[in-house]
């Protein structure tokens, strides 16, 4: 996301980040049509990823690219539009931007309060039946919404926010529900997001723990997110190669019960 929205790096740097994580073994890349500056720039991140995959020397088929439809960016704002006709048009644009005949994982970016969820999910079921998308996912949804959508189309992933500053996905039972139902949970903004992640290095519990274990505070937080269930997959973002690779290596980090509980108990102020 941060490779394509406001504050994005030069394209060569973005390409270097993508190649570095692919070389390091990352097999899931999350994007969206709206990761761009505004409505005239729709598909920027999808085109960037498609280009990086083309110029990468590795096995393209080993990488799952997950994109989303259901938001729009008029004048750079983030608005919801998950009407079936908009989802159909967005999916066609994403197919072109990604340069594929079938999208691996297509996610409803968020339920649209003006459109019954069943209608949005129905459009995704149709796209799947037409072979334009392989798997269907949801994002920014409650347990009740997951179950409503599942009556219309099989759901393989749910993408909601989860980090130590924002734990609603745990408190409201979405992580547990996904684990019970065998649905992958993609944890977005897993280190806190663009602003809050900057507070991690000064955190009174994380800073000494990071020093003791010789890892970054971001890696600790990613390990904590992953510890919540084997079905939780964090999807951190990065504009810098060293940050991206640090996050990749965090996948190997397992924290002790004591350290996990210390992060559980710690306060993470959003102020
Ligand atoms: N479905 C949704 O509604 C939704 C909403 C938001 C995000 N997302 C998804 O979630 C992804 C991540 O979310 P996010 O960007 O909000 O949050 P994030 O990954 O928690 O934080 C983003 C920033 O944290 C820094 N960072 C990450 N890992 C780091 C590390 N190991 N060491 C040092 N710095 C590190 C990066 O800084 P630098 O840029 O300086 O490298 C990055 O820009 C997005 O790319 C997108 O795919 C989905």
Per-residue pLDDT of the chain (271 residues; tens, 9 = 90+): 999 999 999 999 999 999 999 999 999 999 999 999 999 999 999 999 999 999 998 999 999 999 999 999 999 999 999 999 999 999 999 999 999 999 999 999 999 999 999 999 999 999 999 999 999 999 999 999 999 999 999 999 999 999 999 999 999 999 999 999 999 999 999 999 999 999 999 999 999 999 999 999 999 999 999 999 999 999 999 999 999 999 999 999 999 999 999 999 999 999 8
User: What local confidence, expressed as pLDDT, does residue 223 receive?
Assistant: 98
Q: CB under 8 Å to 54, separation ≥6 — which residues?
A: 99
Count of C-beta atoms within a 10 Å radius of residue 213: 15
Q: Which of 2, 4, 35, 163 is catalytic?
A: 35
* Residue bearing the CA closest to ligand 1, atom 46: 1
Q: Write down the pLDDT at residue 74.
A: 97
In this predicted structure, what is the pLDDT of residue 8? 98
- Residue 264 is predicted with a pLDDT of 98
Is the CB of residue 231 below 6 angstroms from any atom belonging to ligand 1?
no
Residue 100 neighbours by CB distance under 10 Å: 18
Per-residue pLDDT at 225: 98
* Residue 65 parent element (H or E): strand 64-69
Give the span between the Cα atoms of 89 and 68, in whole angstroms.
12
Give me the pLDDT at residue 236, please.
98
Does any ligand 1 atom lie closer than 6 A to the CB of residue 9? no
Helix (H/G/I), strand (E/B), else coil: 185:
strand
Please tell me the predicted confidence (pLDDT) of residue 6.
97
Ligand 1 centre and the CA of 206: distance in Å?
18
238 lines ligand 1 (CB under 6 A): yes
| pTM, full prediction | 0.98
Determine the pLDDT at residue 54. 97
**Residue 154, pLDDT score:** 98
35 noted as active-site residue: yes
């Amino acid at each position: 996301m941060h490779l394509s929205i406001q504050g994005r790096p030069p394209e060569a740097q973005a390409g270097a980040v993508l190649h570095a994580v692919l070389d390091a073994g990352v097999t899931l890349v999350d994007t969206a049509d709206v990761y761009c500056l505004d409505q005239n720039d729709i598909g920027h991140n999808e085109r960037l990823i498609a280009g990086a995959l083309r110029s990468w020397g590795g096995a393209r088929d080993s990488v799952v690219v997950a994109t989303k439809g259901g938001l729009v960016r008029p004048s750079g704002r983030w608005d919801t539009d998950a009407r079936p006709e908009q989802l159909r048009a967005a999916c066609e644009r994403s197919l072109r931007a990604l340069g594929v005949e079938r999208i691996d994982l297509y996610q409803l970016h968020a339920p649209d309060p003006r459109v019954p969820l069943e209608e949005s999910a129905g459009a995704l079921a149709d796209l799947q039946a037409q072979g334009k998308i392989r798997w269907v996912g949801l994002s920014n949804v409650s347990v009740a919404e997951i179950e409503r959508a599942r009556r219309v189309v099989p759901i393989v992933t749910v993408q909601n926010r989860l980090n130590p500053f924002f734990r609603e996905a745990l408190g409201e039972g979405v992580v547990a529900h996904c684990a019970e139902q065998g649905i992958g949970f993609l944890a977005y903004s897993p280190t806190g997001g663009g602003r809050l992640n900057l507070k991690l290095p000064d955190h009174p519990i994380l800073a000494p723990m990071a020093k003791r274990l010789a890892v970054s505070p971001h890696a600790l937080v990613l390990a904590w997110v992953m510890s919540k269930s084997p079905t939780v997959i964090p999807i951190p973002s990065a504009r810098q190669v060293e940050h991206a690779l640090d996050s990749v290596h965090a996948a190997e980090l397992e924290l002790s019960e004591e350290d996990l509980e210390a992060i559980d108990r710690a306060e993470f102020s959003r102020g």
